[in-house]
Structure formats: structure tokens, C-alpha cells
């Protein structure tokens, strides 16, 4: 998972957030038009699962999500944990979250194998509309077989949403013994 923020003069903001399924070589990019928040990041996961993941992995009982250590999917973000718990509940999947250690996000596979192709398509081309941002992302098929889909996410994601202590206590979270500060598992609540 990753999120990057782009601004344009006339049409506002674009916040791409993506999912890259390494084994299947398929990717999904949701381009949000509001703030880059945990809600937007988890919505990208939700849309990927509904559009691609469920068909690609029909027998899945758990989902492994690797994420950057900061930003909308920060390991310290209470909203990220709450939103992932909601997704685990909705999909009835155990979601294991593994965060990249600090200072290592530049080695993320999603950056090199997915988002690098987007910037190649955009090179020298004015990002004059949301369609100009989205269309090349979904049209990319690499020589290594990576396929991607993309869609606009027009949901509002306001900043400043707080998560109450009671909501945190209701999470069904288990810290992994290996680097528990970066790795955890969220089981669906019944």
C-alpha cells in the first residue's frame, strides 16, 4: 500500500493509493479527490478486494498488508487500525499488517513495480484533468506481465477524525511476537 499526493491548478487534488498483489502481478490504484487519510487507504484495499482480490484469491482466509511506516497507513495511526478492523469485520478475513521499518519505504515493491510506470506515462504531459491522471494508470501492462486497474474515489475523507479509547479497546488486535511495533493481526469480530 502506498499513497502519494498530487496537486493540480484547475481541478484540485489527486491522492493515489494502491495495492499490489505480488504473486498475481496485479495492481489497483484508487485516486482520491480529498485528503490522503487512513479512510482513503483502507477504501483502496476494499475496492481492490471487491474488483480484483476476491476473484484472484477465492479461498483466502487472511490478507497480508505491507504498508509504509508513516502517512495515512502509519503503524501509529489509530484511525488506520480502526479502519482495518472494520474491513476485517466486513470481509471476514484476518488482516495481518506489516509495516516497513523506518527509512526503508524506498525499497517498497509497490513503488518500483507499480507507481514508477505511472510517472513514466505522465512524464512531460500536463495533468490537466483527473482522467489524465487515472487513465494511464489502469492502461498499463508491463513486459513482466503486471496488470493494473484504476478508478476515481470521490468519497470525502476529512482530516482530524479522532478515535476514542473505547474504539481502540474494541479492536480484536494481536501484536506479532516478531517486531510487535511493526506487525499485528486483526481478526474479524463476530
For the stretch 5-49, pLDDT in tens is 455 445 667 777 777 787 777 777 877 777 778 888 899 899 999
pLDDT surpassing 50 at residue 2: no
pLDDT surpassing 90 at residue 179: no
List C-alpha distances in Å: 156 to 43, 57, 126.
Answer: 11, 29, 25
pLDDT surpassing 90 at residue 97: no
Residues 6+ apart with CB under 8 A from 106: none
Amino acid at each position: 500500500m502506498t499513497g502519494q499526493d498530487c496537486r493540480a491548478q484547475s481541478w484540485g487534488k489527486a491522492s493515489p493509493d494502491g495495492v499490489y498483489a505480488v504473486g498475481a502481478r496485479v495492481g489497483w490504484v484508487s485516486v482520491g479527490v480529498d485528503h490522503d487519510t487512513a479512510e482513503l487507504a483502507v477504501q483502496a484495499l476494499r475496492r481492490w478486494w471487491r474488483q480484483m482480490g476476491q476473484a484472484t484469491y477465492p479461498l483466502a482466509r487472511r490478507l497480508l498488508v505491507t504498508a509504509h511506516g508513516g502517512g495515512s497507513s502509519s503503524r501509529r495511526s489509530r484511525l488506520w487500525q480502526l479502519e482495518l478492523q472494520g474491513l476485517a469485520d466486513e470481509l471476514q478475513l484476518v488482516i495481518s499488517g506489516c509495516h516497513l521499518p523506518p527509512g526503508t519505504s524506498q525499497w517498497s515493491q509497490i513503488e518500483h513495480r507499480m507507481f514508477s510506470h505511472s510517472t513514466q506515462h505522465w512524464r512531460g504531459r500536463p495533468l490537466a484533468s483527473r482522467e489524465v491522471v487515472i487513465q494511464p494508470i489502469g492502461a498499463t501492462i508491463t513486459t513482466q506481465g503486471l496488470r493494473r486497474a484504476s478508478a476515481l474515489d470521490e468519497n470525502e475523507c476529512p482530516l482530524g477524525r479522532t478515535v476514542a479509547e473505547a474504539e481502540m479497546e474494541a479492536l480484536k488486535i494481536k501484536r506479532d511476537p516478531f517486531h510487535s511495533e511493526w506487525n499485528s493481526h486483526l481478526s474479524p469480530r463476530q
